[in-house]
Chains A and B, each alone.
Chain A
Amino acid sequence: MIAVAIDEDLEAIRGHSEGITYPVLMDPEHNLTELYAISNVPTVVWIDENGRIARPNASEFGTDMFVEYTGRPREGHFNQLRAWVRDDLVPADADTEIEDLSQDEIDARLHFKLAATARHSGDDAGATRHFAKAIELAPFDFTISRAAMPLQGEDPFGEKFMALMQQWVDEGAPFHGIVPPRS
Chain B
Amino acid sequence: MIKVIADQVVETDGTIDSTRAIIATDALMDILGWELKDEGLCRDELCVPAERATLETDGKLDLAAVARTLGRPSILDPETNAIAIGAPATDRSAALKDRVAPNFSLTDIDGVSRSLADYAGKKRLLVAFSSW
Contacts and interface: CB of A to CB of B under 8 A. Distances in A.
Interface of A: 1-7, 9-10, 12-17, 23-27, 29, 31-38, 41-49, 51-54, 56, 62, 81, 84-85, 97-101, 103, 106-107, 109-111, 113-114, 117-118, 121, 123, 126, 129-130, 143, 146-147, 149-150, 156
A147 B82 contact: no
Interface in B83-110: 84-87, 89, 91-93, 95-97, 99-104, 106-109
B77 A130 contact: yes
Nearest to A62: B127
Nearest to B88: A35
Interface of B: 3, 5, 7, 9, 73-75, 77, 79-80, 82, 84-87, 89, 91-93, 95-97, 99-104, 106-109, 114, 116-117, 119-132
A2 B109 contact: no
Task: Kindly list the 7 A-B residue pairs having the minimum CB-CB distance in the complex, ordered from nearest.
Answer: A12-B131, A156-B132, A25-B106, A110-B84, A110-B75, A45-B126, A47-B124
Nearest to A177: B128
A149 B80 CA distance: 21
A23 B77 CA distance: 35
A118 B103 CA distance: 27
Q: Which of A4, A6, A32 has the most CB of B within 10 A?
A: A4
A51 B96 contact: no
For the residues of A in contact with B, the DSSP-based class is mixed
Contacts, number: 189
A11 to B, nearest CB: 9
B86 A34 contact: yes
Nearest to B119: A2
14 contacts: A32-B106, A34-B87, A36-B102, A44-B126, A48-B124, A53-B95, A54-B123, A97-B96, A99-B96, A100-B96, A106-B86, A117-B3, A126-B79, A149-B132
Contacts of A84: 123
Contacts of A111: 75, 84
Contact of A53 (B101, B117, B122): B101
Contacts of A54: 123
A114 B101 CA distance: 26
